[in-house]
Amino acid sequence: MTGHRELFKALCTEYAGVDGVHVPDGSDRGFGAQAIKINGAVFVMLIQGQLAVKVPAARVRELVDQGQGEPLSAGKTTPMREWVRLTGTPDDVRPVISEAERFVAAQ
């Protein structure tokens, strides 16, 4: 999605230095290498130029049903229950990223 890479870079800058938050520094490898974590858990990541977030399963279904996201399978045949690839513009997805941060931080 156009603009998601730029938004991810902006998010990394915004979250850098926030207590409990880890932004990628180039040393990360594997799943979540391009991810922002809170309290050690990923809440948003960049996958093939598109942002994906962790939100409750019901919210994933809602976003997919509204055409604002796609199920995230991460190479598996069954989509990951609490993960969705966002398909909206950077302005549209920012509130969902905030939802993801709150959801993961509360776990």
Give me the numbers of helices (H) and strands (E) for the chain, helices first please: 3, 6
Q: Which secondary structure element, helix H or strand E, spans residue 52, and what is its range?
A: strand 50-54
pLDDT at 14 over 60: yes
Domain that holds residue 75: 4-105
Per the structure block, which two tokens stand in for 17?
């230095």
Q: In this structure, what CATH number is given to the domain that contains residue 76? A: 3.90.1150.30
pLDDT in tens, 20-71: 999 998 777 776 789 999 999 999 999 989 999 999 999 999 999 999 999 9
* SS3 state of residue 49: coil
pLDDT value of position 2: 60
The candidate with the shortest Cα–Cα distance to 55, out of 46, 66, 63, 67, is 63
Task: Over range 81-86, report the average pLDDT.
Answer: 96
93/31 Cα distance (integer angstroms):
22
Q: Which residue has the higher pLDDT, 106 or 27?
A: 106
pTM: 0.90
Beta bridge partners of 37: 22, 42
Number of domains the chain is built from: 1
63/40 Cα distance (integer angstroms):
25
